[in-house]
A and B are shown apart, each in its own frame.
Chain A
């Protein structure tokens, strides 16, 4: 049975998963969840994803949520097809550890701060709420310091986990692109190594296909 992706077209976590379905050329059926109508809070949805968040997948009866868990599952399940090396060889304990380090960094040192910036400057404006300038500036200056560290790392190696592109790099796209919407794109653009790295990620076909939103199922590749 074709994998089912229950997702919202523009949700950052949904885009994270959709991109990897493209990278690994996994056929999928897209079932659009309307967040504005709170379809993610309906009983039927909560039975599968009890936190009421998007996305989740139904892989022939196997239910999985949390976007980074899903992308790892896809990369491990389909090692031979699509883009290679998105996770290291599981037997290479050190390479895997460096991948984990980069992934954990993305969560703790990038998304946690980018999320605040995007929330304050983009989301709040959309729903007519006032930006908390202090929270915004705090997050901005903290993220700036973190990206100084990224600049050093990417001066020594092309990707965050080493020589190969991994899920850890791609995971930055959903919130990284939204920083530009928040008027904070200079955080990336002002750092040559970070900028070069991010630009290359943005130009991947898998991202270009979904950057304006997930629109369709893909039964064939």
Chain B
């Protein structure tokens, strides 16, 4: 049975999974969960995903949620097809986990808060974004990206010289930040090179405007 992805077309976490499906050449059906209507809080949904969030997958009866967990699963299950996205060697794998954790703790919290405050909250509430707050978050993110720039001056990607899930994971928020005119990536030469290369990948091009099924 074809894998089914339950999500919202513009949800960053849904895009993260969809991009991985494209990289690994895994066909999938997409089922829309309408966040605006609150479908993610409906009892039927909560049975599958008790935290009431998108996305989750149904892989022939195997239910899995948390976008980074789904991406790992796909990378491991389909290790032999598409782009290799997680190393196999113990130390290389550890450096991948290090990079994935860097994304989760040193990038995602600030990037997601900035995007929420600047884009999603105004859309939901009609109250305009607080520009000073946004600039402050960009300054904070900038300090972390200074360190990224150091790391990326010595190696091509965050975990070494091969692309991994850890790199790709940055894209959904990077795209939104660039849409609202943030220059944090452009201002740092190695970070700029890295993010632009990632953004050019066909898998990202396929999902950046919104996710739809391929099966």
Contact of B62 among A68, A94, A105, A149 (CB under 8 A): A94
Instruction: Let me know if A51 and B69 touch, CB within 8 A.
Output: no
**Stretch from B97-105, B126-134, B194-202 at the A interface:** B97-105
Distance (whole angstroms) from the CB of A191 to the closest CB of chain B: 13
A109 at the interface (CB under 8 A from B): yes
A50 touches B150 (CB 8 A): yes
Interface residues on B, range: 20 to 34
Name the residue in B70, B76, B77 with the highest tally of chain A Cβ atoms < 10 Å from its Cβ. Answer: B76
A50-B73 contact given A64-B98, A73-B94, A104-B66, CB 8 Å threshold: no
CA distance A68 to B96 in the complex (A): 11
Chain B contact surface mostly: helix
Size class of the contact patch on chain A: 20 to 34
Nearest-neighbor residue (CB-CB) of B91 within chain A: A62
Q: Find A103's partner among B52, B65, B69, B93 (CB 8 Å cutoff).
A: B69
Shortest distance between the CB of A80 and any CB in chain B (Å): 14
The reply on B31 being an interface residue by CB < 8 A is no
A 154-191 contacts with B by CB, 8 A: none
**Whose C-beta in chain B lies nearest to the C-beta of A67?**
B101
Is A138 close to B, CB under 8 A? no
Known contacts A93-B76, A103-B69, A105-B51; decide if A98 and B147 are in contact (CB<8 Å): no
Would A149 and B90 count as touching, CB distance under 8 A? no
A93 touches B77 (CB 8 A): yes
Chain A residues within CB distance 8 Å of chain B: 50-51, 62, 64-70, 72-73, 76-77, 90, 93-94, 96-98, 100-101, 103-105, 107-109, 112, 146, 149, 152-153
Interface of B toward A, CB cutoff 8 Å: 50-52, 62, 64-70, 72-73, 76-77, 90-91, 93-95, 97-98, 100-102, 104-106, 109, 144, 147, 150-151
Q: List 19 A-B contacts (CB under 8 A).
A: A50-B147, A69-B95, A69-B98, A73-B91, A73-B93, A77-B90, A90-B76, A93-B73, A93-B77, A94-B73, A96-B73, A100-B68, A100-B69, A101-B65, A104-B67, A104-B69, A105-B51, A146-B51, A152-B50
